[in-house]
């Protein structure tokens, strides 16, 4: 009985008859939660981060916030386009991949900034890149524009993985 009620509630939230603006708001809300949590973890450890050795190609601290804001907007728009194109429940798998890669985003911040595990953060970054690649491929299969919106994200997280590796190597 409880499962049926949950299914009915999910269908009303994201089902084909759902209000598309409410779905966009829900996707945006999820991204905001991830971004805020990542920001909290990061800001609490900037003194530690600033003391680390850095490669010449590490962007300045101020660049990360605006960059991630753009990427979060792109990811949200892409997820919404997939939901609009496929409907529910056909969009479950691509959206589950999207959720997973966002969880990995937060995981990287936690492993790197909160736990100070540079090698572990690099390993998480590799899984993160793979998850974004699979999500991007899944989004391309659903909606070309959604896939295109994910390409800058994939490029950035690939670069971020290189940054993570360089942080590990220069601070080994």
Q: Find the Cα–Cα–Cα–Cα dihedral 51, 53, 56, 58, rounded to 10°.
A: -60
Read off the pLDDT of each residue in 13-29 and give the average, rounded to a whole number. 81
Cβ–Cβ < 8 Å for 107, 124: yes
Predicted confidence at residue 104, as pLDDT, reads 98
Read off the pLDDT of each residue in 70-99 and give the average, rounded to a whole number. 96
Question: Is the per-residue pLDDT at 5 higher than 60?
Answer: no
Domains of the chain, first to last? 2-170 (1.20.1260.100)
Residue 40: band (very low, low, confident or very high) from pLDDT cuts 50, 70, 90: very high
Question: Which residue is it, tokens 């008859």?
Answer: 17
Predicted confidence at residue 14, as pLDDT, reads 58
Read off the pLDDT of each residue in 49-70 and give the average, rounded to a whole number. 96
What does the pLDDT look like over 103-153, one tens digit per residue?
999 999 999 999 999 999 999 999 999 999 999 999 999 999 999 999 999
Question: Is the per-residue pLDDT at 7 higher than 80?
Answer: no
Q: How many Cβ atoms are within 10 Å of 18's Cβ, its own excluded? A: 17
Q: How many Cβ atoms are within 10 Å of 125's Cβ, its own excluded? A: 26
CA distance 107 to 123: 11
* Residues in contact with 75: Cβ distance below 8 Å, sequence separation at least 6, in sequence order: 31, 98, 102, 149, 150, 153
Query: What's the token pair of residue 39?
Result: 């920001």
Read off the pLDDT of each residue in 60-87 and give the average, rounded to a whole number. 96
What is the distance, to the nearest Å, from the Cα of residue 37 to the centroid of all Cα atoms in its chain?
12
DSSP 105: H
Q: Tell whether pTM > 0.85.
A: yes
Cβ–Cβ < 8 Å for 68, 105: no
Residue 4: band (very low, low, confident or very high) from pLDDT cuts 50, 70, 90: low
Question: Is the per-residue pLDDT at 17 higher than 90?
Answer: no
Query: What's the token pair of residue 88?
Result: 């529910």
């Amino acid at each position: 009985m409880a499962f049926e009620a949950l299914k009915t509630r999910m269908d009303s939230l994201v089902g084909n008859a759902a209000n598309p603006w409410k779905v966009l708001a829900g996707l945006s809300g999820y991204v905001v939660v991830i971004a805020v949590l990542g920001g909290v973890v990061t800001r609490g450890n900037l003194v530690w981060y600033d003391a680390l050795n850095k490669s010449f190609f590490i962007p300045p601290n101020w660049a990360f916030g605006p960059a991630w804001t753009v990427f979060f907007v792109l990811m949200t728009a892409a997820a919404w386009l997939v939901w609009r194109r496929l409907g529910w429940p056909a969009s479950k798998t691509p959206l589950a991949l999207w959720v997973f890669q966002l969880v990995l985003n937060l995981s990287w911040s936690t492993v790197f900034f909160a736990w100070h595990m540079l090698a572990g953060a690099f390993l998480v970054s590799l899984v993160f890149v793979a998850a974004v690649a699979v999500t991007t491929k899944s989004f391309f299969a659903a909606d070309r524009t959604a896939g295109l919106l994910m390409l800058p994200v994939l490029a950035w997280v690939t670069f971020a993985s290189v940054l993570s590796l360089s942080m590990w190597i220069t601070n080994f």
